[in-house]
Amino acid sequence: MARLIVAAGSMSLLSVGIAWLILLLFDSLHIFGGSTIQTVFVFGFYTYCVAVLIIPSEHKAFYVLSMPVLSQFLHLFQKYDFPAGANSLWRLFPFLLGDLYMLSVLARFKTDLSDIEKSLIASWIAFNFLVIAISPNLAGIITGAFTLFLVTIPLYFLYLSILSQHPSFPATLERSLCLTFILLALGTFGLVYFGAQYKGASNLLVTRNISDTNITMAYFILLWPFAISYAMRSAYSWLAAPLLILLFLLVVILSFSRGAVFIVLPYLVASIWIMSSWKQMLWLMVPAAVLSAGFDNLIPLINPDLAYSWQLRFADFRTLGPSVRNIQEASGRAEIQRLAYELFLESPIYGHGTGSFEMLGPGYREAHSMFFTILAEQGLIGMLYLYGLFAALGYGLIKTTAPPRPILPVALGVYLVFVHSVGYAFVIVPSKSLTINCIAPVLLICIYFYSKTIGNDPVPTAHG
C-alpha cells in the first residue's frame, strides 16, 4: 500500500506542477476553471489521467479503477464553469481516456470469457442501446449514455476479466479499492465541510452536497468488503482495521444521510462480526465507543457550521419508529415515486427510455428508488432484465464465495436496500446536473470477478 500511495501521490503532484507551469506560460488556458487554483487542479487532473495511463506502472489497476471516483469530485470541483450534463465532453474526458487505455489492453491480451459472460455483454449492449434510443431526453444524454452504458461498462468487464487471470488479482483489487475507499472518504469530508458554511436561504450548496453524499454512500457499501479485507490481513491489522472503521463511522456521521444512519451503521456492525473473532470484534468496536462518547462535541469541534447541517437533516427524527415511518414523506420521495408509477402506467412494457424521468417527471434524475426509476424508464422488460442480473450475481456470490467472505453477498444485499430506499445510485447520465458516473456498475463487476477468483482459494496473496 505504501508504494501505491507514494506512486499515486507523486503522479498527482507532478501533474499539478506541470499544469501550473503550462498555465504560467499560456494564459489563454484559464478556460479550465473559474479561478487560478481551480484551473490548475482541473487541468492537473486531466494531465494526471493521461500520465498514469501512458506511463508503465505496476499500479495500473488502481489508476483505472479509481478514475470514476476521482472524476466525481472533479465534476463538483469544476462546479458550473463547464457545461453540465452527460453531453459535456469535459466531464466525459476521463472516461474516454480510460476507454482508450482499456481498448489498448484488449488489443494486447485475450479475454477468457465463458459463453454466459459473452451473452451477458451482448445482451447488455443490445438492451441499453434500445432503451437509450427511445428516450425523449436523447438529445440531452446521448453522448454520456452511449459512452458509459455501451462502451465504458462493457470495457471494464472485459478489462477485469483479463486482470482476474493473474494469481495476484484478489490482493491487487483489495489494495486498489481500499485506497479508493480512503480517497472517497476524504473527498466526502471535503464536500460536507465546504458546503456547511451555506445556511438559511443560501443553503443551495449544502443541500446539493447532502444529495451527493447520499448517493456516495452506496459506493462506500460496495467498497467496504475490499477495504476491510485488505486491512484485516495487513501486517498492521490491529491498527489498520480500527482506523478504517473509524473513517467509515465519520463518513456516516458527516454525510448527514438518514439512509446511512439507518442502513449503513447496522451493515458496518455486521461486517465487523463477519470478518473477526469475538476478541477482534471487541477491539474493533473501540473506535465506535470512542466516537459515541465524544459525539456531542465532535461536530462543533470539526466545524461549528456542521451542526446546522446535522440539525437540518435530523431535527424531525427523534426516535427510530417515527423516523422509519416518516422518511419517505419528509423527503418528498412518496410523491416523486407516485409520479414515476404514473409514468410506468403510460408505457408499462418497455418504459420511456434512459434519462426519461428527468424530462417527464418532476425534474430529478431518478425517483430515489431503483424499483420506481426502472419502472418508469425501462418498464417490465427492464425490471426483468436488471433484477435478473442482480439475482444471478447474488446467487453466484452465495455459491462461490469462500467461507471467510460472506460479507460480499451482505454488501450486495445492503446496496440493494439502499438503492431502493435512498437513491438509485447506478449509472448517472443527467442532462442538467454536474455529476456523470458509472461507479456502482464498475464496483459490482469487481465483486463478480473477485468472488469468482477466490471461489476455492479463500486467502489472497499476503500483503503488508
pLDDT at 392 over 70: yes
pLDDT band with cut points at 50, 70 and 90 for residue 382: very high
Alpha helix (H) residue ranges in 196-262 = 204-232, 237-254, 258-259
The per-residue pLDDT for 432 is: 85
pLDDT band with cut points at 50, 70 and 90 for residue 201: very low
pLDDT at 26 over 70: yes
Tell me the average pLDDT across 440-444.
97
- Phi/psi at 428 (5° precision): -110, 110
- Phi/psi at 55 (5° precision): -75, 130
Does residue 352 or residue 27 have the better pLDDT? 352
Residue 428 β-bridge partners: 437
pLDDT band with cut points at 50, 70 and 90 for residue 464: very low
The per-residue pLDDT for 197 is: 57
Among the ranges 152-156, 253-257, 333-337, which has the highest mean pLDDT value?
152-156
The per-residue pLDDT for 42 is: 84
pLDDT at 264 over 80: yes
pLDDT at 310 over 80: no
**Closest listed residue to residue 426, CA positions, set 50, 96, 149:** 149
Q: Report the chain's mean pLDDT, rounded to a whole number.
A: 83
pLDDT at 313 over 80: no
pLDDT band with cut points at 50, 70 and 90 for residue 204: very low
* C-alpha cell read off for 41: 487542479
Does residue 134 or residue 200 have the better pLDDT? 134
Q: Residue 428, SS3?
A: strand
pLDDT band with cut points at 50, 70 and 90 for residue 345: very high
| Cβ proximity of 87 and 144 under 8 Å | yes
pLDDT band with cut points at 50, 70 and 90 for residue 280: low
Percent of the chain with pLDDT over 70: 77
Q: Which of 24-38, 112-126, 137-151 has the lowest mean pLDDT?
A: 24-38
* C-alpha cell read off for 193: 465541510
Among the ranges 96-100, 336-340, 396-400, which has the highest mean pLDDT value?
96-100
Q: Residue 136, SS3?
A: coil
pLDDT at 219 over 90: yes
| Cβ proximity of 416 and 234 under 8 Å | no
From CA 381, how far away is CA 391, in angstroms rounded? 15
Q: Residue 443, SS3?
A: helix
The per-residue pLDDT for 463 is: 47
From CA 398, how far away is CA 400, in angstroms rounded? 6
106 sits in which H/E element: helix 89-108
pLDDT band with cut points at 50, 70 and 90 for residue 422: confident
Cα dihedral sign, 416-230-243-282: positive
pLDDT band with cut points at 50, 70 and 90 for residue 307: low
Quick: pLDDT tens for 155-166.
999 999 999 999
CA 119-391-401 angle, 5° bins: 95
- Phi/psi at 88 (5° precision): -75, 115
| Cβ proximity of 424 and 369 under 8 Å | yes
CA 151-154-155 angle, 5° bins: 75
Half-sphere exposure of 224 (CA within 13 A, CB side): 35
Residues in Cβ contact with 116 at an 8 Å cutoff, skipping those fewer than 6 apart: none
pLDDT band with cut points at 50, 70 and 90 for residue 297: low
Residue 71 β-bridge partners: none
Give rounded-to-5 percent helix, strand, coil for the chain: 75, 0, 25
- Phi/psi at 204 (5° precision): -60, -45
The per-residue pLDDT for 259 is: 67
The per-residue pLDDT for 379 is: 95
Q: What is the CA 100 to chain-centroid distance, rounded?
A: 22
- Phi/psi at 437 (5° precision): -165, 165
